[in-house]
Structure 1
Amino acid sequence: MITLGVTVLDCPDHAALAEFYAQMLGWRVTDGEDDDWIEVAGPNGRTLAFQRVESGYRPPQWPGQDVPQQLHLDFDVARADIDEAERKVVGLGAKLVQHDEGVRDFRVYLDPAGHPFCLCLK
């Protein structure tokens, strides 16, 4: 049987990006396997990992495909909490790049390393 293990994001500063997601999700940063790897542990064995790319890192360009995103993360937020969640992620260093404008059920952000992620209304 195959099960999903860990989701890994490349970035230039893996410790800083791990701290961003740990604070955003209320998870905890754990030791990585080596100097270029760090993990954030959540409930029920959920894990996000961050791998340092020392040179040549190019953040995804969203929207567009000049430097494709290849993946993005969706995070569920209660409708009543979306503005508070937005203040939190922006305060931690995310950049809002597409507001829901009252017609979508999600807002798109870039994390501090440029990876797109969405806050989705649940």
Structure 2
Amino acid sequence: MIGELQCVVLDCADGEVLSRFYAELLGGEVNRPDRRWAVGDGWSTLHTERGLVLAFQRVADHRPPRWPDPERPAQFHLDVDVPDLEAAQARVLELGAELLDAGEPARGWRVFADPAGHPFCLLGRPVTP
């Protein structure tokens, strides 16, 4: 195991609206305080009663998916907590991932694409046992 899934992040035009939709669908608490991230205009969260966390990321000029149209595919990414960002990066690259955004060293997270091109982020944080 390289890391632990932190949350699933969905791109959208309005994270607050979408988080409230999913709260009605799944139950849970919108924008509960959490040390892992800050909520704000561009970021909203839903902590479900079963422990799943969904995050909603505002994207300028968002074009909603139109299933099954390949020109408008589904839009989400995984955030994965890892205890050692450098070691995790080396391993996912070895597995066929591509580094898309290394960011600033102090940022503590990096963006990759999986072998099929889907983005995911590694976040340098301790994995819970």
TM-score (norm 2): 0.48
Select which of 45, 50, 55 maps to 1:49.
Answer: 55
> What is the alpha-carbon distance in structure 2 between the residues aligned to residue 10 and residue 25 of structure 1?
18
Corresponding position of 2:3: 2
> What is the alpha-carbon distance in structure 1 between the residues aligned to residue 27 and residue 75 of structure 2?
26
The correspondence of residues 60-71 of structure 1 with structure 2, limited to 5 A, is: 60-69=65-74
Identical counterparts, % of pairs = 41
**Structure 1 segments of 4+ aligned residues over 6 angstroms from their partners:** none
Could you tell me which runs of 5 or more consecutive residues in structure 1 were left unpaired when the two chains were aligned: 72-122
Q: How far off its partner does 1:43 sit? A: 3.0
Could you tell me which runs of 5 or more consecutive residues in structure 2 were left unpaired when the two chains were aligned: 33-37, 77-129
Q: How far off its partner does 1:45 sit? A: 3.0
> What is the alpha-carbon distance in structure 2 between the residues aligned to residue 70 and residue 51 of structure 1?
10
Relative contact order (C-alpha < 8 Å, sep 6+): which is higher?
A: 2
Q: Deviations over 1:41-98 (max 9, x none)?
A: 0135320000111x32111111120111256xxxxxxxxxxxxxxxxxxxxxxxxxxx
Amino acid at match of 1:46: L
Paired positions, count:
71
Amino acid at match of 1:56: D
> What is the alpha-carbon distance in structure 2 between the residues aligned to residue 56 and residue 26 of structure 1?
29
Corresponding position of 2:26: 25
Asked if structure 1 preserves the Cα contact closer than 8 Å seen for 2:44 and 2:57, the reply is: yes
Secondary structure at the aligned position of 1:38 is classed as strand
Q: Deviations over 1:7-66 (max 9, x none)?
A: 00011111000000001011110254332111000135320000111x321111111201
TM-score (norm 1): 0.51
